[in-house]
Structure 1
């Protein structure tokens, strides 16, 4: 028994460390972007691909890693992810051109994409039914801490070395050590059923999601890329039609690329919709430093500190969300979390002109976002899927969250344009963003109330 407990703890810490290191990247882009711009001579349009190509890799790679994990086992896929991650970090660090740098970022994302999904699966697998929320919330807490620590770490790296490449070089030994730990400590899984990989479905879905993500990227500059946009729509439509046909006629010995049986359940489909809405809500983080800089005329460095307050709120909210799932159930947790997001949005709308009030309300906003995004959705997806294709179910949810985070800037940018007064970016512009935040929170409450939970899924 002691050996089993010690083994579970060692697995837990390996995954926690992997999540922390992998999530560092999300908080480094804004800090490194000026240095990258100088190195490669980037325009504002070109620089947007630094984050965009990474997100594209995450959205493409997450369902693939989830599917392959259910077929070949977590250890093999985890080791493969770490190997790809190492290669991506190395290529990004040594890249002599911007094109190779973007390729390195894309590979880096493919190596990072499955780590959180595999970690959540481990938490659900090792926790008792009444402690799953608290276990899963650990992933959210670690991710939040990484996002807070990342700018500090990169800032120190730049201060001591003067070179952004040093950050990626510093990742290499950690990834290598993690690889050795996984190889030595994690157990090889013996699958009860021997599945074959659904390569036609995998290929069709990858083409579809790539076309769709590129469409979302280029639609913001429609006049410049209109012919490419039309081509992407055609490719996405054909690949989606092909994917659906392949999945409907899949052989019995092949695992479907996506859990089609789950998608037919209204409860899971609505949970994915909540993931999409949650990703849209979470994207409001992007606008907080710019708001503080524009409205209160603080330097951008000081403006960015307000983001730490919201991030700290999300870390605490992640832990609270896990606790609420275990004590109150998934449905109540989601409704309370969405309500707190909507309430904080309303408070921000009426307190936008006062920095102190905005800081307090943004902390409350972080609490709501953390509790909404951390535990309840993952626990719902995991319980609906069961052990057989739990990683796929969680991977699908993770993908919809990322799509929501990509769609959000387009929606928020439209709101900004509607409220700009003669080119002036004032309080009214940002009031529109937080009004939209409140609307999305209300929609999330309505969607949650419509989910037909079974007793087991809600407890």
Structure 2
């Protein structure tokens, strides 16, 4: 990023980025509420319904590293505007979609527009913050995203009740996105980098193919051997594309004309590799929330709609945890914050396994678990990645971390579903099934704590801005 662009971006008000984060993150909480209506509109099977969410996740995983690389190579403002344009186009296509295929295409385009918003906003906040205030600055994004996740089910539910259709939500989003695009055009100023970098198309293409097919293979693993040929084919192409990517990036490492898609120097750092692994495990924690309404419905007999309201407490906990995580990073450092958050998640999961039949206690424990997840995912990992990379590669570093979180959310359902299946009695999921699920959470928390102590934070590796 050039000095001129840095000054321009730093002069953009923080509230502008927070509004964009809030608007774009509404989708994550709205779609589960609208999914039954979408399923009825297009007459979808269970697998068809799952791709409404799954394809969006795939777009986020693939798009985030691409957005990060293009931002470092071509400037933040230009990429930010493209992100908002994709979001608008995706929403429009989804809103007017005459069939399932067009709706999925709209969802995918929308995900490409969403893929870089969080990362770009975090990068701007890291640039604006003093070193001893970076945790609290970055945690602001997590707080806003958490508030958005709490508001979106209520908002989408109200629109469903008024219009009796899911399309109204996407039509409502269009004017907001158009206004944000106009504001970004005038408020973000110039967008010029210090040098004219060429885009690493081979690295971008091979990495995207490898990651996309890996995600597809993991997704279809949930259906057992029914798609074995497809799964094997995806894994084979992933290996080939991954090998092409690694060889090409090594050869490109010293280029002064083309910016490597991912900085090999950064990937060689043990600290960054372990940070990516922690991000993947953190993404697994978030997948647990998908199963909580089902657990409450099955064990306590609450209606599905009422069971979903339990997530309000978890969401509130994640907002509190986001603020707390930023404070802990600035006051006590990354390691203490990560150990605290993982320990809190693991301890709450342990108590839940011992008190599965107590709904009131579960409400309190799930809130505290949300605090742990919010404090872990809001700022410590982002600050670590940003400092390891330094200003030149910060966007790519945070983008890689964000992609790993999404990979974790894709892998985890396999673990949780297997744990639930092992505990079934007479084909029905009961207390034993959900006890197994929370035991998996405890194991992940313990692994997190162990990995945190393994990260070799050295003065040489953690770069000053």
Give the TM-score normalised by structure 1: 0.97
Contact 2:390 2:463 in 1 (8 A): no
Whole-Å separation in 2 of the counterparts to 1:226 and 1:134: 46
Residues 1:327 and 2:331 are matched in the alignment: yes
Task: Measure how far apart 1:403 and its partner are.
Answer: 0.2
Whole-Å separation in 2 of the counterparts to 1:118 and 1:111: 12
Residues 1:226 and 2:231 are matched in the alignment: no
Contact 1:324 1:333 in 2 (8 A): yes
Whole-Å separation in 1 of the counterparts to 2:398 and 2:9: 24
Contact 2:9 2:124 in 1 (8 A): no
Range with bigger deviation, 400-409 or 225-234: 225-234
The aligned residue for residue 173 of structure 1 is 175
The aligned residue for residue 257 of structure 2 is 253
- Please give the per-residue CA displacement for 1:253-296, whole angstroms capped at 9, x wherever unaligned: 21110121101000000000000010011111111111110000
Change beyond 3 A, Cα 1:365–1:261:
same
Residues 1:444 and 2:448 are matched in the alignment: yes
Task: Measure how far apart 1:191 and its partner are.
Answer: 1.9
* Equivalence map 1:9-48=2 (5 Å): 10-48=12-50
- Please give the per-residue CA displacement for 1:390-445, whole angstroms capped at 9, x wherever unaligned: 00000000000000001000111111111111112111111111111011001001
2:309 to 297, 305, 323: 305
Residues 1:289 and 2:300 are matched in the alignment: no
Change beyond 3 A, Cα 1:390–1:427:
same
3-state SS, counterpart of residue 291 of structure 2: helix
* Equivalence map 1:120-269=2 (5 Å): 120-250=122-252, 251-269=255-273
* Equivalence map 1:62-81=2 (5 Å): 62-81=64-83
Task: Measure how far apart 1:351 and its partner are.
Answer: 1.5
The aligned residue for residue 3 of structure 2 is none
Contact 1:380 1:458 in 2 (8 A): no
Task: Measure how far apart 1:145 and its partner are.
Answer: 0.5
2:402 to 395, 398, 405: 398
Whole-Å separation in 2 of the counterparts to 1:86 and 1:290: 33
Contact 2:24 2:114 in 1 (8 A): yes
Contact 2:8 2:188 in 1 (8 A): no
The aligned residue for residue 53 of structure 1 is 55
The aligned residue for residue 385 of structure 1 is 389
3-state SS, counterpart of residue 140 of structure 1: helix
Change beyond 3 A, Cα 1:180–1:120:
same
Q: Note the residue ranges of structure 1 that are not aligned, 5 or more in a row.
A: none
* Equivalence map 1:423-438=2 (5 Å): 423-438=427-442
2:114 to 89, 112, 115: 112
Contact 1:330 1:458 in 2 (8 A): no
Contact 1:352 1:358 in 2 (8 A): yes
Task: Measure how far apart 1:458 and its partner are.
Answer: 10
3-state SS, counterpart of residue 192 of structure 1: coil
The aligned residue for residue 366 of structure 1 is 370
Task: Measure how far apart 1:192 and its partner are.
Answer: 2.2
- Please give the per-residue CA displacement for 1:172-205, whole angstroms capped at 9, x wherever unaligned: 1111111111110112243223321100110111
Whole-Å separation in 1 of the counterparts to 2:93 and 2:423: 42
3-state SS, counterpart of residue 386 of structure 1: helix
Whole-Å separation in 2 of the counterparts to 1:45 and 1:317: 34
The aligned residue for residue 411 of structure 1 is 415
The aligned residue for residue 379 of structure 2 is 375
3-state SS, counterpart of residue 196 of structure 2: coil
Whole-Å separation in 1 of the counterparts to 2:62 and 2:453: 31
Whole-Å separation in 1 of the counterparts to 2:190 and 2:210: 33
Whole-Å separation in 2 of the counterparts to 1:285 and 1:208: 28
Count of aligned pairs between the two proteins = 456
Whole-Å separation in 1 of the counterparts to 2:9 and 2:417: 48
3-state SS, counterpart of residue 392 of structure 2: coil
